[in-house]
């Protein structure tokens, strides 16, 4: 048996088309959704990510404001910038690219983002609302994963889901979303005992670890839906850097029912969901007057 590929690029493109259509409607009300991205330092991976966000935001009709600061920027400078962006009516979404340089108090910076503009869904208000099952801005990566899982199956209720990784930006909100969709959810992490055996129980397996090929093929239950969040740069056979996920993809193919590739899986969905969250943030500024939010379908 060979697993079905879940084509994140194609699903992301369709979502971006829906975002673009909604943005065009907002333009008729004189509203252009605006996304501000704050990038500190010159991490090459962050620059690639911010570069594709800029292009795709423009293609979907959003305004994009880039704020690049040197690696020496202080916590108080960043807080001042976020406060300025909070006050601007043409900025509906604020994203502070992580990780911030070691000297910066990241939690303090993220905490000052207006929760209404927190399109990453990292603010305590949004994380709390998600945990309570209230209307919240959901972090882009787990939201993208949920959309891909729904591409693979319509029936989530009662499924056994294992999320490997418990970060605030991926693992924890992913587990919340699966729970909200009536899965039976287990969260695993570096202190989990017998991870292979736990993974073998998973009908839905989400890997968000940050270790190349950490999940072996024979850890995967026959027919499982496998979502690989990992983005790891490793040296390829030709000596050039290539991207690999947290799952041993080639080995997983003969076990999984459906699987996301890296690249071309979760990554493109993260950016599409960021655009969706930004347009929804703009719609919420005039509740009711601008029509419905973009939903998951």
Ligand X SMILES: NC(=O)C1=CN([C@@H]2O[C@H](COP(=O)(O)OP(=O)(O)OC[C@H]3O[C@@H](n4cnc5c(N)ncnc54)[C@H](OP(=O)(O)O)[C@@H]3O)[C@@H](O)[C@H]2O)C=CC1
Tokens for 34, please give them. Answer: 């605006």
Of 118, 120, 228, 248, the catalytic one is 120
Residue 260 is a binding residue for ligand X (CB under 6 A): no
User: Is 197 a catalytic site residue?
Assistant: no
Residue 242 vs 286, nearer CB to ligand GUE: 242
Contact 292, 163 (CB under 8 A): no
The span from the CA of 205 to the CA of 201, in Å, is 9
Residue 170 is a binding residue for ligand X (CB under 6 A): yes
By C-alpha distance, which of 56, 68, 51 is closest to 23? 56
Binding partner of residue 195 among ligand X, ligand GUE, none, CB cut-off 5 to 8 Å per kind: ligand X
Chosen residue from 9, 63, 160, 166 binding ligand X by CB under 6 A: 166
Residues numbered 13 to 32 that lie near ligand GUE (CB under 6 A) are none
The span from the CA of 201 to the CA of 253, in Å, is 17
List of residues 6+ apart from 200 with CB closer than 8 A:
219, 220, 221
Residue 198 vs 253, nearer CB to ligand GUE: 253
Contact 192, 213 (CB under 8 A): no
For 278, list phi and psi in degrees, rounded to 5.
-70, -45
The span from the CA of 98 to the CA of 105, in Å, is 11
Measured CA to CA in angstroms, residue 142 lies from 93, 112, 206, 249 at distances of 18, 23, 9, 20
Binding partner of residue 49 among ligand GUE, ligand X, none, CB cut-off 5 to 8 Å per kind: ligand GUE
User: Is 297 a catalytic site residue?
Assistant: no
User: Is 55 a catalytic site residue?
Assistant: no
Residues that bind ligand X (CB under 6 A): 141, 164-167, 169-171, 188-192, 195, 208-211, 214, 229-232, 266-267, 270
Residues that bind ligand GUE (CB under 6 A): 48-49, 52, 95-98, 120, 140-141, 231, 243, 262-264, 267-268, 270-271
As annotated, the active-site residues are 53, 97, 120
What residue numbers does the annotated binding site for NADP(+) cover?
165-167, 231
What residue numbers does the annotated binding site cover?
165-167, 231
């Amino acid at each position: 048996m060979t697993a079905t590929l879940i084509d994140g690029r194609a699903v992301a493109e369709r979502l971006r088309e829906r975002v673009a259509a909604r943005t065009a409607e907002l333009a008729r009300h004189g509203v252009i959704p605006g996304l501000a991205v704050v990038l500190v330092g010159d991490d090459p991976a962050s620059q690639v990510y911010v570069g594709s966000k800029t292009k795709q935001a423009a293609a979907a009709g959003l305004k994009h404001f880039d704020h690049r600061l040197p690696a020496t920027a202080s916590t108080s400078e960043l807080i001042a910038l976020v406060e300025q962006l909070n006050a601007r009516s043409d900025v509906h979404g604020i994203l502070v690219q992580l990780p911030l340089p070691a000297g910066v108090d990241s939690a303090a910076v993220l905490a000052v983002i207006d929760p209404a503009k927190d399109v990453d869904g990292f603010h305590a208000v949004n994380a709390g609302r998600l945990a309570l099952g209230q209307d919240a801005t959901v972090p882009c990566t787990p939201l993208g994963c949920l959309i891909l899982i729904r591409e693979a199956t319509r029936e989530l209720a009662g499924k056994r889901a294992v999320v490997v990784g418990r970060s605030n930006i991926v693992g924890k909100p992913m587990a919340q979303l699966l729970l909200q969709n009536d899965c039976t959810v287990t969260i695993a992490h570096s202190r989990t005992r017998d991870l292979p055996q736990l993974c073998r129980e998973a009908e839905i397996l989400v890997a968000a670890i940050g270790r190349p090929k950490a999940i072996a093929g024979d850890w995967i239950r026959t027919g499982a839906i496998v979502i690989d969040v990992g983005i790891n740069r490793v040296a390829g056979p030709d000596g050039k850097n290539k991207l690999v996920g947290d799952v041993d993809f080639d080995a997983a193919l003969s076990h999984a029912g459906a699987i996301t590739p890296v690249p071309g899986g979760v990554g493109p969905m993260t950016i599409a969901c960021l655009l969706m969250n930004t347009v929804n943030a703009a719609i919420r500024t005039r509740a009711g007057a601008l029509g419905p939010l973009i939903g998951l379908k």
